[in-house]
Amino acid sequence: MSGGVDSSTVAALLVRQGHPVVGLTMQLWNQRRLPELSAEGASGRCCSLDDVYDARRVAEQIGIPYYVVNFEQEFEERVVQPFVDEYLAGRTPVPCTLCNNHIKFARFLDLADAVGARQIATGHYARVRYDDASGRYQLLRPADESKDQTYFLYGLTQEQLARTLFPLGELTKTEVRELARSMNLAVAAKSDSQEICFVPNGDYAGFLSAWLRERGAPQPPGRGAIVTRDGRTLGAHEGVHHFTVGQRRGLGVATGEPLYVIATHPETRQVVVGTNDELLRPGFTATGVNWISIEGLRAPAPARVKIRNKHTAAAALLLPTGDPARVEVVFDEPQRAVTPGQGTVFYDGDLVLGGGWIE
Amino acid sequence: MLRAYFDHNATTPLAPEVREALVSCLDQTYGNASSIHHFGQAAKQRLEAARRQVASLLGARPAEVVFTGGGTEADNLAVLGAVRAARGARHLITTAIEHPAVLGPCAQLEREGAAVTPLPVGSDGVVDPGEVRRALRPDTVLISVMHANNELGTLQPIAEIARIAREAGVAFHADGVQTLGKIPVDVHALGVDLYSVSGHKLYGPKGVGALYVRKGTPLAGLMFGGHHERDRRPGTENVPALAGLGAAAERAGHHLEAEAQLLASLRDRLENAALERIPGVAVNGAGACRTPNTTNISFDGIDGEALVIALDLRGFAVSTGSACSSGAITPSHVLTAIGLSAERARASIRFSLGRSNTAEQVDALVEALEASVAHLRRISVHA
């Protein structure tokens, strides 16, 4: 229970269906830890005192035992530290996937075992079904495509899927809010969280600086050159960690046509820019692939492939390699801003075949 | 579900005598204790009666008792007040196992330029008075050592440290929040200058406490705006709650010995049964003198937080440590200070017994513990 409308509604629905329910909030990040990052409107985000207050209030309202469990240390090791490392290495990481893979579901199931619960339920928008033919649990897109969270869930294991309920998978956000209102839940009108929970103001560069300063670690490499692919210098920037592939804003370079970041090189402090066409890539290699709903890939197979959360999945061919955790992705049409470090997810219709990381 | 409460170091339920004093005061004595008229005088009488009751339990003079808004405020007033009353360069000595209500103001004083020496403790959870002597500096102005530790129950050599402080001419504060009401306390025999008290740890109301200030001890106030409590704590007194604190002190005085005996026997029953019936169990701080109601036990390979939740769902209230710090990112600073590994510190549970506990409850708790520990080990959470 994050204190938001989705997980609150899930808890209330399960109670209404007559299940014995225990509410848990995972304290993953101390929002007061890096005070220089607190921004207007940043309160009320995940793991803030306000959210725990809201979750507790809902638990009281629906009459379930409720506990806050602290996983800040594991979150730091498994999510925040890799996030920082990736960023400093010039890649654009997806902390929510790391969190789902290593903390949310794994630790949540541990706790379920500890309290004797058979299943866990979350407020994610996704669906799980058991497929008789293959004997596997499958992950599917939710009814509300605009809230689809399968991009962050492809890393779950069969054991995790088998014990997980996503009660919102068949509902739209509007219906969820309506349900929350009809059950008089105190959080029915609460706004959705958008940003990464530990960077509530969306300023990744600022977070990086503050986090490194707290550690007494050196600051990220500073000023460097903005260059074109053919080596012309167009200007200077304040540090490659301010940039991500596909970014247009903040370059401060005036040329005739719009320029985009097409690569960042932390070792030479170079930000490479180019035109929109130069951002296009015919394909990429995915690593650390988890075939969530199927056994694996034996032969080339068509799929729709997402390369970031808000990307509209594009038609592609998946080519197996000798290693089941590696797959070559060849798009039917070249795609814009294939960003190293980002997650990628493969779909067959609503079915999530699997996913991995863009190399 | 039947529920049993084993978390009396976090807080205690109100004793009937306390409730009676509180309610009668709420109903009848609404005057402002500073007012000249009949109503004010009635309130003042209740207030001073409460002061005599608390003083009597402490072996202090009533004029040496300053009422506060709880134990945390008493600790803050003692530490900040004693150090800020001194001029020039300032150094203070404390221990690594103090409650945050002492460590917090120490950290604040450090930010204000004072020097702080936090003394280590032995594996038994007790500070060596010799360490206190060695830590003394010419500019030392305060020594603050808790009387009983809240997580372990270990008693510190207060009288010995007081002698060292007296010889050196340094003010000495002891946090007595977890001690008063559990064992006999005599501030004169102990030789302390400042001693903190909390109402709700001895079956009194929450939000009231007291600081014993030996006559002549320099102390700067924290708040300004009235002459209450001899200029040391301004604000209209919470007379009903303080009457409750007085009643709690009087009650504690009457029942101290009998309750201490009962609690020690229940505590031993719990420890012995746990050690006998559950493998991989160790009592933390067992070698030291302890308050009779507290035991801290580690269960190898168990996550304490998960065990607390599992026991709560079975109806038993226990804790992983200080209620104020549960949910904290780091393992208990107290358990770390006595040399436990982070793993064993996280596998530790505090049981703190109280007057309403029975042998049957202890036996039921041990049974639940046995089952929960076995279950958690079987599913090997955190293995």
User: Which chain B residue's Cα is nearest to A75?
Assistant: B329
d(C-alpha A110, C-alpha A175), whole Å:
31
Radius of gyration of chain A (CA): 21
Q: Render each residue's pLDDT in chain B as its tens digit; 383 residues.
A: 889 999 999 999 999 999 999 999 999 999 999 999 999 999 999 999 999 999 999 999 999 999 999 999 999 999 999 999 998 779 999 999 999 999 999 999 999 999 999 999 999 999 999 999 999 999 999 999 999 999 999 999 999 999 999 999 999 999 999 999 999 999 999 999 999 999 999 999 999 999 999 999 999 999 999 889 988 999 999 999 999 999 999 999 999 999 999 999 999 999 999 999 999 999 999 889 999 999 999 999 998 988 999 999 999 999 987 554 444 456 889 999 999 998 899 999 999 999 999 999 999 999 999 999 999 998 864 43
User: So what's the pLDDT on residue A8?
Assistant: 97
Which residues in A lie closer than 8 A to residue B305 (C-beta atoms)? 69-70
Is A114 in contact with B382 (Cβ distance < 8 A)? no
Residues A173-188 as b/e (b if ≥16 CB within 10 A, e otherwise) read beebbebbeebebbbb
Residues A193-232 as b/e (b if ≥16 CB within 10 A, e otherwise) read beebbbbbeebbbbbbbbbeeeeeeeebeeebbbbbeeee
User: Which chain A residue's Cα is nearest to B373?
Assistant: A114
Query: Chain A interface residues facing chain B, Cβ-Cβ under 8 Å?
Result: 22, 27, 30, 65, 67-70, 72-73, 110-111, 113-116
Q: Which tokens is A171 given? A: 């509902």
Mutate which of B313, B316, B380 to disrupt the A interface (most A C-beta within 10 Å)?
B313
Q: Render each residue's pLDDT in chain A as its tens digit; 359 residues.
A: 999 999 999 999 999 999 999 999 998 888 777 777 665 444 445 667 788 889 999 999 999 999 988 888 889 999 999 999 988 888 888 888 989 988 999 989 988 998 889 999 999 999 999 999 999 999 999 999 999 999 999 999 999 999 999 999 999 999 999 999 999 998 988 888 777 888 877 888 889 989 999 989 888 888 899 999 888 898 899 888 888 888 887 777 766 788 899 999 988 999 999 988 989 999 999 999 999 999 999 999 999 999 998 899 999 999 999 999 999 999 999 999 899 899 999 999 999 999 999 99
Q: Which residues of A are catalytic?
A: 99, 197
Is B379 in contact with A114 (Cβ distance < 8 A)? yes
Q: What share of chain A is helix, strand, coil (3-state, %, to 5)?
A: 30, 25, 45
What residues does B143 pair with on adjacent strands?
A: B93, B172
Interface pTM, i.e. ipTM: 0.75
Catalytic residue among B25, B106, B289, B324: B324
CATH 3.40.50.620 for the A5-123+167-182 domain, yes or no: yes
CA A222 to chain centre: 28
Sequence-ordered strand ranges (E) for A278-326: 280-290, 301-306, 314-320
Tell me phi and psi for residue A283, to 5 degrees: 175, -170
User: So what's the pLDDT on residue A34?
Assistant: 78
pTM attached to this predicted model: 0.84
Residue-by-residue DSSP string for B354-367 = -TT--HHHHHHHHH
Tell me phi and psi for residue B197, to 5 degrees: -135, 140
Q: Which tokens is A83 given? A: 């996030």
Looking at this protein, which amino acid is placed at residue B264?
Answer: A
Cβ–Cβ contacts within 10 Å for residue B18, how many? 27
CATH 3.30.70.380 for the A281-358 domain, yes or no: no
Q: Could you say which DSSP state residue B183 is in?
A: B
Is A22 in contact with B328 (Cβ distance < 8 A)? no
Q: Taking the CA atoms of B321, B326, B327 and B329 in sequence, report the sign of the dihedral they define.
A: negative
Which residues in B lie closer than 8 A to residue A110 (C-beta atoms)? 306, 379, 381-382
Q: Which tokens is B306 given? A: 């998960």
Q: Which helix (H) or strand (E) holds B277?
A: helix B239-277
User: So what's the pLDDT on residue A248?
Assistant: 83
Which residues in B lie closer than 8 A to residue A67 (C-beta atoms)? 309, 312
d(C-alpha B76, C-alpha B69), whole Å:
11
Q: Could you say which DSSP state residue A17 is in?
A: T
Polymer length of chain A: 359
User: So what's the pLDDT on residue B326?
Assistant: 45
The fold adopted by the segment(s) A221-274 is SH3 type barrels. (2.30.30)
Is B309 in contact with A27 (Cβ distance < 8 A)? no
Closest of B364, B197, B194, B195 to residue B269, by C-alpha: B364
Nearest chain B Cα distance for residue A110, angstroms = 6
Token match 């978390």: residue? B7
Mutate which of B3, B302, B303, B305 to disrupt the A interface (most A C-beta within 10 Å)?
B305
Is A115 in contact with B310 (Cβ distance < 8 A)? yes
What residues does A261 pair with on adjacent strands?
A: A273
Is A110 in contact with B313 (Cβ distance < 8 A)? no
Mutate which of B329, B332, B343 to disrupt the A interface (most A C-beta within 10 Å)?
B329
Name the residue among B305, B310, B329 with its Cβ closest to that of A72. B329
Query: What digits encode the pLDDT tens for the residues B222-241?
Result: 999 988 998 899 999 999 99
CA distances from A242 to A29, A251, A322 (A): 23, 10, 37
User: Which chain A residue's Cα is nearest to B331?
Assistant: A73
CB contacts < 8 A (A, B)? 43
Cβ–Cβ contacts within 10 Å for residue B85, how many? 16
Query: Chain B interface residues facing chain A, Cβ-Cβ under 8 Å?
Result: 303, 305-307, 309-310, 312-313, 327-330, 375-376, 379, 381-382
Nearest chain B Cα distance for residue A77, angstroms = 12
Name the residue among B328, B330, B376 with its Cβ closest to that of A114. B376
Sequence-ordered strand ranges (E) for chain B: 4-5, 65-68, 91-95, 115-119, 140-144, 171-175, 194-198, 209-213, 281-284, 294-299, 316-317, 348-352
Full set of structural domains in chain B with CATH? 4-12+256-379 (3.90.1150.10), 16-251 (3.40.640.10)
Nearest chain B Cα distance for residue A22, angstroms = 9
User: So what's the pLDDT on residue A204?
Assistant: 85
Closest of A87, B164, A34, A44 to residue B156, by C-alpha: B164
Q: What spatial distance separates the first Cα and last Cα of chain B, rounded to whole Å? A: 31
Is A70 in contact with B329 (Cβ distance < 8 A)? yes
Name the residue among B306, B307, B327 with its Cβ closest to that of A68. B327
User: Which chain A residue's Cα is nearest to B342?
Assistant: A73
Which residues in B lie closer than 8 A to residue A113 (C-beta atoms)? 379, 381
Mutate which of A25, A33, A51, A69 to disrupt the B interface (most B C-beta within 10 Å)?
A69
What are the sequence ranges of the domains in chain A?
5-123+167-182, 221-274, 281-358
Nearest chain A Cα distance for residue B327, angstroms = 5
User: Which chain B residue's Cα is nearest to A23?
Assistant: B309
Phi-psi region of B176 (alpha: psi -120 to 50; beta: other; left: phi over 0): alpha
Name the residue among B309, B328, B376 with its Cβ closest to that of A67. B309
Query: What digits encode the pLDDT tens for the residues B27-55?
Result: 999 999 999 999 999 999 999 999 999 99
User: So what's the pLDDT on residue A203?
Assistant: 84
